[in-house]
Chain A
């Protein structure tokens, strides 16, 4: 199993500012993902964080808005840039465990943009 520490757990931000979310895993993992979840709704994949190279973004998400870093196999950051109220959501870090099968999730970052 993988234990994921995600910080901050919640934040309230002003429009136009940026927030960086950190994801630390207790073991080396092959794949790390960033998801967004509207309260009580489904998860939408933002991007796959690639170690040592640019992240792979899903349709509708761009690097300028959601820059991602992954400097090693245990750590990644997601920045939500130039925030607007529409960015208010829960952001989840996720990794695959050994065998690259099931996903493990961080506890999430609840972001509110005023």
Chain B
């Protein structure tokens, strides 16, 4: 069975500082990994994905994530946080056979001015 862990319920950073939202996963076979973001009172949006290739993937709004196979991690990063980045972030792993995705518990990111 596949699983995703987001060890931090909440991450607080100051605007302009770098941010990291952590994610580790467990899956048999090659992982398809994703980050989604949920802004207040809005639906879930795709942010970025790792399927294959370069370990560093770039996504929307200046976010990037680094795939680390040995550590089974897929941490979300951004060099300089904005107040508008404040939202709920979900890491997800997709079963390549069944197609269904398993989500982590989510991390609330708060960026303070």
Contacts and interface: CB of A to CB of B under 8 A. Distances in A.
Interface of A: 30-31, 33, 40-43, 45, 48, 92, 96, 100-108
Which bracket fits the contact residues of B?
20 to 34
Contacts, number: 48
A45 B88 contact: no
A33 B51 contact: no
A100 B49 contact: no
B101 A45 contact: yes
Instruction: Give the secondary structure class of A's interface.
Output: loop
Given A103-B34, A105-B43, A41 B106 contact: yes
B44 A92 contact: yes
A110 B18 CA distance: 34
Nearest to A4: B43
A31 B99 contact: yes
Interface of B: 32, 34, 36, 42-46, 49, 51, 88, 90, 92, 94, 98-106, 108
Given A41-B106, A102-B49, A33 B100 contact: yes
B86 to A, nearest CB: 13
B103 A43 contact: yes
A103 B98 contact: no
Contacts of B98: 48
B106 A103 contact: no
A105 B106 contact: no
